Amino acid sequence: MKIHMTSVFVDDQAKAERFYTDVLGFVKKHDLPLGTDRWLTVVSPEDPDGTELLLEPGRHPAVQPYKDALVADGIPAAAFAVDDVRGEFERLTGLGVTFTQEPLEMGMVVTAVFDDTCGNLIQIQQLKQS
């Protein structure tokens, strides 16, 4: 068994597509019309056949209270691995991304948390060499 797909609820799929591709650097894998929405997934360009991230419309009534509670408590909706958290922090800050947690060493990992502009906090993390 392996993880094939996971999702984040987004407020606006077009805005999410721009942020996740143009800013974060993911590439679009699927973009299929689905009524007024789309089946929109992105993947890492480093692993195009790897785990897909579904940019899922967040109109279900349970979504907004859930997202609001996570953000209020500073809990990321997803975590992405990077080779260099500090380098990504600098790159993304330069692109106007707002971080709620600057790079922080926590034992064997370095993490940072940013706002994805679509109602979620996202964590980037780097496993330090032992």
| Residues 6+ away with beta carbon under 8 Å from 8 | 16, 53, 54, 55, 56, 77, 78, 116, 118, 120, 122
Position 113, amino acid = V
User: Can you give the pLDDT at residue 54?
Assistant: 98
Dist CA 39 CA 31 (whole Å):
5
- For residue 113, give the CATH number of its domain: 3.10.180.10
- Give the chain's domain count: 1
pLDDT value at 114 more than 90? yes
Distance CA 27, CA 30 (A): 9
Average pLDDT in the 45-70 region? 97
When pLDDT is averaged across residues 61-90 and rounded to a whole number, the result is 97
What gap in Å lies between CA 74 and CA 27, rounded to an integer? 27
The pLDDT of residue 130: 66
Tokens 């089946």 belong to residue = 39
Mean pLDDT, rounded, for 9-18: 97
Q: What average pLDDT score do residues 21-32 get? A: 98
How far from chain centre, in Å, is Cα 6?
Answer: 11
| Owning domain of residue 49 | 5-127
